[in-house]
Amino acid sequence: MDPLSSFSLVNVDRSIVGFELERKYFHYYYMFNEAHHLAELGLVSFEAERYRETVECYEKAFAAKDIPDWMPDEMHLYYHLAAPAWAALGDREAALKCLEEAVEKVWTDFARTVRCEEFTSLHEMPGWKRLLKKLQ
């Protein structure tokens, strides 16, 4: 079903006014800030296993200057999502760096970090054990 077909405020044929449905979106949500938009796009990309796109979105979000007041409280989650994407791409150093940044920004979910399959390649790195000690 076309998600716009139930829009009841204006019940017109969209093609008459020049609108064409180009793609069906994962969800509809208004992004009022570029950093927030990039972070959400990173999440959707991660869920679709598009890891290169994921890390590109998060790197841009981390570098953004105009971050909403509430967003710094969520940065630990974004760094923790960027880490397995880097690991899946084979960049263990970048993955570990993102994990360290997540912990520094108050990431505390030890169990989620340990059971993440993408982090298996990090288990032999010296920084992995140091990171786990910080999380415990």
Give the burial string for 28-64 (b: 16+ CB within 10 Å, else e).
eeeeeeebbbbbbbbbebbeeeebebbbbbbbbbbeb
Residues 6+ apart with CB under 8 A from 80: 98, 99, 102, 107, 109, 112, 113
The sign of the dihedral angle between the CA atoms of 53, 92, 82, 110 is positive
pTM over cut 0.85: no
Q: How many CB atoms lie within 10 A of CB 134?
A: 13
Phi/psi for 53 (5° steps) reads -65, -40
Hey, what domains does the chain have and what are their CATH numbers?
3-135 (1.25.40.10)
Tens of pLDDT along the chain (136 residues) come to 444 444 444 445 555 666 676 666 555 555 578 888 899 899 999 999 999 999 999 999 999 888 888 888 889 999 999 999 999 999 999 999 999 999 999 999 999 999 999 999 999 998 999 999 998 8
Q: In whole angstroms, give the CA distance from residue 135 to residue 67.
A: 27
